[in-house]
């Protein structure tokens, strides 16, 4: 029951994200030394509104571990040129921890191996297109990539654009991003000089409305850039002919994560068949 609810929530968010231009996560702001791994841990929670049942709303909570690692350099052709690229692996496990050890279960582990042009990791949400002009960076450009979900066979990604929202993380690139206070953030991975950012992204169709908000701390001292974050997506629905005032909240999905470890000499966990 709980596993099916989690899957339904992820599928619903995926469908919502597909009706507008794709937007990526906000997890990779910089590239550390090759062989670096950052591990995050936190909570993934889903609230399902059930106004038509006597049991009331349903709240489900899972533990989550997310890892990002750099596992190799390679020269590859991108945009008509041979450029330096980096193999980045991302792994997320979502499940329960009945005895203190996370049990993701079938389908609860998602792994991606991406060959990313180093020039595409700019530390900004803006992508330069012409002299003096830039556009919102709505994805991570990749040369090629692979995914593996649970025990399923490894599959090569067809697109040369990659997004982590919402499958990997609720944190995303926000169209409205505000820089906040500077200070020190202490997490299990260490103490870091950070800047706090808050972001908002909203999208709407005639039947769905989705509002994503997030707050994260970013540091030049942290490999890949992000120290901690909280992110939330609120989904509302209405009938296709109903007025906008008829939108009713149907679900709230939240994620709260922080870096718990930084490791060196990390090796690939992803076997490409």
Which residue is it, tokens 């496990």?
93
pLDDT tens digits for 10-47? 433 333 333 333 223 478 889 999 999 999 999 999 99
* Rounded Cα–Cα distance for residues 137 and 212 (Å): 17
pLDDT above 60 for 126: no
Task: For residue 108, give the 3-state DSSP assignment.
Answer: coil
Confidence of residue 104 (pLDDT cuts 50, 70, 90): confident
Confidence of residue 263 (pLDDT cuts 50, 70, 90): very high
* Contact in structure between 119 and 86 (CB atoms under 8 Å): no
pLDDT tens digits for 227-254? 999 999 999 999 999 999 999 999 999 9
Maximum C-alpha span of the chain: 62
**Element of type H or E holding 2:** helix 2-18
Q: Kindly state the tokens that stand for 211.
A: 């509002």
Residue with the bigger pLDDT between 222 and 151: it is 222
Tell me what pLDDT residue 123 has: 58
* Rounded Cα–Cα distance for residues 202 and 233 (Å): 9
Q: Which residues contact 143 (CB under 8 A, 6 or more apart)?
A: 76, 77, 78, 85, 115, 116, 117, 160
pLDDT tens digits for 179-216? 999 999 999 999 999 999 999 999 999 999 999 999 99
């Amino acid at each position: 029951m709980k596993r099916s609810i989690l899957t339904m929530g992820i599928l619903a968010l995926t469908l919502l994200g597909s009706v507008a231009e794709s937007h990526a996560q906000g997890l990779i702001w910089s590239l550390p030394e090759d062989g670096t791994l950052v591990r995050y841990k936190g909570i993934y929670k889903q609230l399902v509104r059930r106004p038509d049942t006597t049991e009331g709303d349903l709240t489900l909570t899972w533990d989550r571990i997310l890892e990002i690692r750099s596992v190799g350099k390679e020269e590859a052709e991108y945009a008509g040129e041979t450029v330096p690229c980096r193999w980045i692996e991302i792994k997320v496990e979502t499940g329960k921890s009945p005895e203190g050890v996370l049990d993701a279960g079938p389908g609860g582990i998602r792994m991606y191996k991406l060959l990313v042009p180093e020039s595409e990791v700019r530390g900004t949400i803006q992508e330069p297109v012409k002299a003096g002009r830039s556009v919102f960076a709505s994805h991570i450009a990749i040369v090629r990539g692979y995914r593996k979900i649970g025990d399923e066979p490894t599959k090569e990604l067809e697109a040369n654009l990659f997004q982590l929202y919402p499958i990997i993380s609720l944190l995303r690139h926000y169209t409205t991003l505000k820089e906040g206070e500077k200070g020190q953030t202490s997490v299990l991975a260490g103490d870091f000089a950070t800047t706090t950012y808050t972001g908002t992204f909203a999208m709407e169709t005639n039947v769905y409305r989705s509002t994503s908000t997030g707050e994260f701390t970013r540091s030049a001292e942290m490999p890949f850039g992000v120290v901690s974050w909280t992110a939330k997506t609120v989904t509302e629905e209405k009938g296709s002919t109903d007025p906008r005032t008829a939108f009713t909240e149907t679900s709230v999905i939240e994620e709260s994560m922080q870096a718990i470890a930084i490791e060196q000499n990390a090796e690939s966990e992803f076997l490409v068949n």
